[in-house]
Chains A and B, each alone.
Chain A
Amino acid sequence: MRSKVLCLILLLFFSYVRSLAQENAFFHQTEVGFLWGKGIKNWDGNYLNRMDVSISTFHGVKISSHHILGFSVGYDKYDQIELIPIALGWRGFLGKAEKQRLFAGLDFGGGAAFLEKKETTQWSSSWYEGGMMVHPMLGVKLPAKKGNWALSASLGYKRQQVSYFRGFLDGSSRSTNALSSTTNLPSGFSSFNETNYLFHSLVFRMGVMF
């Protein structure tokens, strides 16, 4: 299911890209790479590092010869958690258009957790909720000899928040509404755990832009 969604996104993206490739007012960047992060400390004091895939596609409009504003969507994996980052973005270029250029970028948005299914059993219910995402980056643009195409490579930092909720259902006939209104125990649960993750990742990606 997830791979199908991913294929569909990529397919749509590339068909879109082809149709727009000739128009100079638009800018597109698609990259694939990895997220690398230093996880929490293990029982033995070592860190559980994580390295997972990251895909992003950015589409923008040139607002000047050096600046582009647009949006990005993608796919990020953090250990077991799969997120769809959706963000507004900026790309700024240094140097002349035909040559190798340095660029900087910033994506600001959120990671949606709709690939993670809510699990409900007789006793409990658990689900993920996405959270804020910030992704500043630096990169290089290496233009192809022909056409508008260019290779891109970027290195950035990604800050992603995710929450995991797990509640045990209240099986008794006790009423919970009065308590819930004044506390953070949602109605219908006898106990509720909220785990907030803050992932700091180093992001390295390569791809194409035009």
Chain B
Amino acid sequence: MKTTKLFIALLLLASGLFFSCEDQVTTTYTYRTMMPVYLEMSDVRARLITTEPAKPLDNPGKIYIYKDYLLVNEPSKGIHILDNSNPANPINLSFIPIEGNIDLAVNDNILYADNYVDLLAFDISKITNIKLVNRVKDVFTHLYRHDTGQIITFKDTVITTDGPRWEIEGGWALRSDMSFTANLSAASKSYGTGGSMARFTLMDGHLYAVDESTMRVFDVQNATDPKFIKPINLGWGIETIFPFQNKLFIGSNSGMHIYDASTPHSPTRMAVYEHVVACDPVVVNEEHAFVTLRSGNFCVNGVNELQVIDIKNPYDPKLKKAYPMLNPHGLGLAGDYLYVTEGRHGLKSFNVKDVMAIDKNQLEFLQNMKSIDLIPGPKSLIVIGPDGVCQYDYSAPSKLRKLSCIQVTNPVIIS
């Protein structure tokens, strides 16, 4: 009996203690966003730019082939210089730290690179002794905030809070400190990787640089002294620029613009070939433009196709034929051979001599070769994908042979 009483007493004590306890629920929210970073351009200009020892490739952007060298942009950080005289064994030589750098082009031993709002010119005639020779100030002015003269950039940031719920079903995150447009532009810029996705291009002594809405023209006939001539408004959603025979083919996400650049300092619009909204790099030969349309995060339409556009009359481009594709990102044309990067689906090669029967002339579909963009170089086909920057021997166009892959520490994830 005694034990029963003791038990009841303990029971009461235990439940008394217990009733003061309640469950605890804590939630942390971790999300990725673009945080605005404000910079004084005077501070940026005051920093000395000197070549640094080679760094591993982290998350490469645009790739530019110059002589036996590969110049690889590390978005917003700078440019890697690689010796590619043997494509089977590229050697990382050095790194030029350039803040805010997205694109580059080389003309006559002079490397042009953007540094936020400025355009820099480097003398790279001695690759071991690269020198900054000129700075053209205040040309990419869209980065300026109008009221303060500061530049505003966005830093990809991860934030963890225990704040209230903010996400919307379906994965879109919107907060007041998060800029949708910044996200958009950064994402579209993040793999401006040369080839069909270039945003800087050189033609006839002039440098053309496109951002989301504007083409800027520079006179670089005196290579060390680039002169900003004028901006040309293109409309929204500009993505890529491809030069061919005194014409500029500009891919936007609503169509392809053709500009006559026979007067190089003042290109004039010849035509705009409109199509549905989709992401679309362009490559061109004498008679045809090849455009890929892709459905993606920011390319809202669910269209995945390769379009062949007749441009014999550049004032009146006409769709000749469209071929369904899986998820084409970039493309490259080498003679009669067209290479299409199909994102996570792989890489395709076609003989496009007969543009009406491209689908019947598929040469290879390398499904294990996930890829985003490619550049047909003089020595090798350079393919950018999640495995890094890989080079292939394409001297036999129907049979690609892998030469090397440059590992990157932070490869792109293909959606």
A residues lining the B interface (CB < 8 Å): 37-41, 47, 50, 94-95, 100-102, 123-124, 138, 140, 155-157, 168-180, 183-185, 187-188, 190-200, 202
Contact = CB atoms under 8 A, between A and B. Distances in A.
B171 A123 contact: yes
B21 A174 contact: no
B30 to A, nearest CB: 4
Interface stretch (B6-14, B96-104, B108-116): B6-14
Given A174-B156, A190-B32, A195-B26, A123 B170 contact: yes
State the majority secondary structure of interface residues on B. Answer: mixed
Contact of B30 (A178, A185, A196, A199): A185
Given A102-B3, A198-B23, A168 B18 contact: no
B263 interface: no
Nearest to A186: B30
Nearest to A190: B32
Contacts of B190: 173-175
Contacts of B51: none
Contacts of A168: 167, 171, 173
Nearest to A191: B31
Interface residues of B, number: 48
* Ranked 8 nearest A-B pairs via Cβ: A191-B31, A168-B171, A200-B21, A183-B158, A198-B24, A38-B22, A195-B27, A178-B410
B386 to A, nearest CB: 9
A45 to B, nearest CB: 12
A192 B29 CA distance: 6
A100 B32 CA distance: 62
B7 A138 contact: yes
A156 B7 CA distance: 12
A179 B156 contact: yes
B26 A193 contact: no
Interface in B358-388: 372
B301 interface: no
Given A184-B160, A191-B171, A39 B22 contact: yes
Contact of B171 (A140, A178, A184, A190): A190
A173 B11 contact: no
Contact of A172 (B58, B157, B297, B410): B297
